[in-house]
Amino acid sequence: MIRVYTDGACRGNPGPGGWAWAVAPDGTPAASGGEAHTTNQRMEIKAALEALRALPGTLVVVSDSTYVVNCIRQRWYATWLKNGWRNSQKKPVANVDLWEPLIQLYLSRRDELEFEWVKGHSGNVMNDLVDALAVSASLGPFDATSPAPRTVAQSSLFDE
């Protein structure tokens, strides 16, 4: 079972943002990317989505985002699917362009995926690593189109 930590960051909300994932225990492999104009919530979802796209097999996705973790663990997605991607107030689900592929991947692999919440900024080494990678990715440079993930080697960020 692979434990992958994910995080998103945004400088301003909205503003430039970054996402990252890294595999425990040593932070490799890892990937990150960013967007010039986004939100923190979008980057949290994007981090989980990119981890699922990149990593095969049985995964525990560890995130400090209750938005991401509760969507899966509390099955918010089931209501969204039943209601045609509308929330309980009958309004369109925010960030559906990211939720839809994430939920599709989750449903196709649900027997091999778990989501776990970790308190952010609490001294968890892996959470601190992906936070630093996401913040670094939020600094750019940004592609005018949807940026491809940047794979990063274990870096000095892990040792800070």
Domain coordinates of the chain in residue numbers? 2-154
Q: Which two tokens stand for residue 9?
A: 């960051």
Q: Which two tokens stand for residue 114?
A: 């778990």
Identify the pLDDT of residue 3: 98
Give the residue numbers annotated as catalytic, written as ranges: 7-8, 44, 64, 121, 131
* Each residue's pLDDT tens digit, 90-103: 999 999 999 999 99
**6, 134 Cβ separation under 8 angstroms:** no
* Each residue's pLDDT tens digit, 122-140: 999 999 999 999 999 999 9
CATH fold label, 2-154:
Nucleotidyltransferase; domain 5 (3.30.420)
* Each residue's pLDDT tens digit, 26-36: 999 999 999 99
